[in-house]
């Protein structure tokens, strides 16, 4: 696994060229560190792949994977679009100066206030998820005398090979209009009949952490068949085909991650083939990668504290973070790799369970981890924690959420401050 991390002359782990031990010392732990060059490289790898294919495209970063003003700034610099799934994400993006026209608004139960906010801020496209929302948006557009570009999120009946909570394209899903039962067509007709909505295309997202291309090809087949029906019956010509995200990454040696190029090449080839077969114009192809943009660029640094050893059992090595800053192992049985930051290349001699500091037995970060000998105060780096770690963080046990730093060009900068105890009670009120 030596390709997945770098060391300096002292043998210490480096992140974006900076010594992980220095970062931990200067900013404290638990600490979330992003290597910004790696984020840029990932994003650009999708752009390059599409550019080589010479098709119209957009890469819309699924910002739920990691949301902060700073990441919106970086994606904007890269010329990307973003998708948001709540008023809070939208608010953050707008505060970051992200152009509203490049924002897509998702969600299976957007509130009236959120939709109104999106309409008033002239968000690029609202991705409609259900009939209730079509009616709600229609009402808002009438009340505000405005118009909106929309897409329909459809569930094509494709099951992605991933954790059950990460599957979304199958019929039995809370998201989107079902294709097979005709709901998608009904939604299409409602939107087409509405003068204030312009349907620029369709969207689907089949799941997350997908490590093969079969699901995407099936998804494209289903969507192109649907578009073909709408072309024949209603003479509809979509501008955009939005295929969602889900491109899997390497968490551990078990994950055979595909490159952005493989995903993009297969996607474009498949869209081209069906467009040719059905005599349709090739629509703009949009994708919404989240995890694959920020996942591998993120590292969690923790300090080792107590160790519990029971004869005959695997020891528990505890760190100062855990399920509060990374719920994924507890929630999805997600696997990660971790290193001893002062000597990641040293031969492992002990096997432990890496556990967190939260009052819950399930707060286990890594079930089986081989490490060189450790002592209290050592820094452990968990790899590939950049997606859905901080963004799903909580204050369970009233533990302040960690600081997040961006590292680039030999500089490290806090982009989300560490919470303080005062922050924790800032919304509490005394009961009179």
Beta bridge partners of 242: 203, 286
In this chain, which stretch among 8-16, 215-223, 240-248, 417-425 interacts with ligand LLP, using CB under 6 A?
A: 240-248
* Beta carbon of residue 299, minimum distance to ligand LLP (angstroms, whole number): 16
Binding pattern to ligand LLP, positions 192-211, x when CB under 6 A?
Answer: -------------x--xx--
Total residues binding ligand LLP (CB under 6 A): 20
How large is the angle between the packed helices 87-95 and 112-120, nearest 10 degrees? 30
Q: Is 247 in the site for ligand LLP (CB under 6 A)?
A: yes
User: Which one of the listed residues 193, 310, 313, 359 is annotated catalytic?
Assistant: 359
**Residues near 201 by beta carbon (within 8 Å), at least 6 away in sequence:** 151, 238, 239, 240, 241, 242, 283, 284, 286
What is the distance between the terminal CA atoms of the chain, rounded to a whole angstrom?
58
For residue 288, state whether it binds ligand LLP (rule: CB under 6 A).
yes
Does residue 359 have an active-site annotation? yes
Place of tokens 């020891």: 315
Residue selected from 12, 81, 102, 106 as contacting ligand LLP according to rule CB under 6 A: 106
Q: Residue 260 Cβ, how far from ligand LLP at the closest point, in Å?
A: 11
Beta strands (DSSP E) in 123-273 are 125-128, 148-155, 177-178, 197-203, 240-242
46 forms part of the interface with ligand LLP (CB under 6 A): no
Residue from 314, 229, 240, 249 nearest 271 by CA: 240
300 binds ligand LLP (CB under 6 A): no
For position 244 contacting ligand LLP by CB under 6 A, the verdict is yes
Q: CB burial class (10 A; 0-12, 13-18, 19+) of residue 161? A: middle
Q: Which of 38, 42, 292, 326 binds ligand LLP (CB under 6 A)?
A: 292
Q: Does 133 bind ligand LLP (CB under 6 A)?
A: no
Q: Judged by CB under 6 A, does residue 222 bind ligand LLP?
A: no
Q: Does 30 bind ligand LLP (CB under 6 A)?
A: no
Hey, how many other C-beta atoms are within 10 angstroms of the C-beta on 404? 26
Strands 403-408 and 316-319: unpaired
Q: How far is the CB of 199 from ligand LLP (least distance, A)?
A: 18
Q: Is 215 in the site for ligand LLP (CB under 6 A)?
A: no
- Pull the structure tokens for residue 326: 């990374």
Kindly state whether residue 324 participates in binding ligand LLP, applying the rule CB under 6 A: no
Binding test (CB under 6 A) with ligand LLP, winner from 166, 320, 378, 408? 166
**Nearest one of 244, 222, 138 to 178, comparing CA atoms:** 222
Regarding 418 and contact with ligand LLP (CB under 6 A), the answer is: no
At 404, list the tokens. 């997040």
Catalytically active residues are 359
Binding site for ligand LLP (CB under 6 A): 62, 65, 106, 166, 205, 208-209, 244-247, 288-292, 328, 332, 387-388
């Amino acid at each position: 696994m030596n390709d997945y991390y770098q060391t300096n002359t002292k043998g210490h782990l480096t992140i974006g060229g900076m010594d992980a031990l220095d970062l931990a010392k200067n900013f404290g732990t638990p600490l979330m560190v992003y290597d910004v060059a790696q984020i840029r490289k990932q994003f650009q790898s999708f752009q390059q792949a599409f550019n080589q294919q010479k098709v119209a495209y957009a890469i819309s970063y699924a910002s739920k994977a990691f949301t902060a003003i700073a990441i919106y700034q970086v994606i904007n610099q890269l010329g990307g679009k973003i998708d948001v799934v709540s008023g809070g994400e939208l608010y953050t993006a707008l505060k970051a100066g992200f152009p509203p026209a490049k924002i897509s608004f998702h969600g299976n139960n957007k509130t009236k206030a959120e939709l109104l906010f999106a309409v008033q801020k002239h968000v690029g496209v609202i991705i409609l998820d259900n009939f209730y929302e079509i009616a709600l948006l229609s009402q808002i557009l009438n009340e505000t005398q405005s118009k909106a570009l929309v897409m329909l999120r459809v569930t094509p009946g494709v099951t992605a090979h991933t954790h059950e909570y990460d599957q979304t394209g199958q019929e039995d899903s809370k998201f989107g209009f079902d294709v097979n039962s005709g709901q998608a067509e009904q939604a299409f007709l409602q939107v087409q009949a509405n003068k204030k909505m312009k349907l620029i295309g369709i969207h689907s997202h089949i799941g997350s952490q997908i490590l093969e291309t079969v699901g995407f090809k099936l998804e494209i087949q289903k969507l192109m068949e649907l578009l073909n029906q709408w072309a024949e019956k209603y003479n509809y010509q979509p501008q955009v085909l939005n295929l969602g995200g889900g491109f899997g990454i390497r968490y551990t040696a078990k994950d055979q991650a595909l490159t952005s190029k493989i995903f993009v090449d297969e996607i474009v080839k498949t869209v081209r083939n069906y467009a040719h077969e059905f005599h349709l114009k090739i629509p703009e192809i949009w994708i919404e990668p989240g995890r694959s943009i920020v996942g591998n660029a993120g590292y969690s640094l923790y300090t080792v504290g107590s160790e519990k050893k029971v004869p005959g059992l695997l020891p528990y090595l505890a760190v100062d973070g855990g399920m509060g800053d990374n719920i994924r192992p507890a929630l999805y049985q997600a696997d990660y790799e971790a290193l001893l930051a002062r000597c990641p290349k040293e031969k492992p001699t002990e096997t432990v369970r890496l556990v967190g500091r939260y009052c819950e037995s399930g707060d286990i970060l890594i079930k089986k981890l081989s490490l060189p000998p450790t002592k209290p105060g050592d820094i452990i780096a968990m790899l590939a924690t950049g997606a859905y770690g901080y963004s799903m963080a909580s204050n369970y046990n009233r533990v302040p959420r960690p600081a997040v730093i961006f590292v680039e060009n030999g500089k490290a900068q806090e982009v989300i401050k560490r919470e303080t105890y005062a922050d924790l009670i800032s919304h509490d009120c005394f009961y009179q």
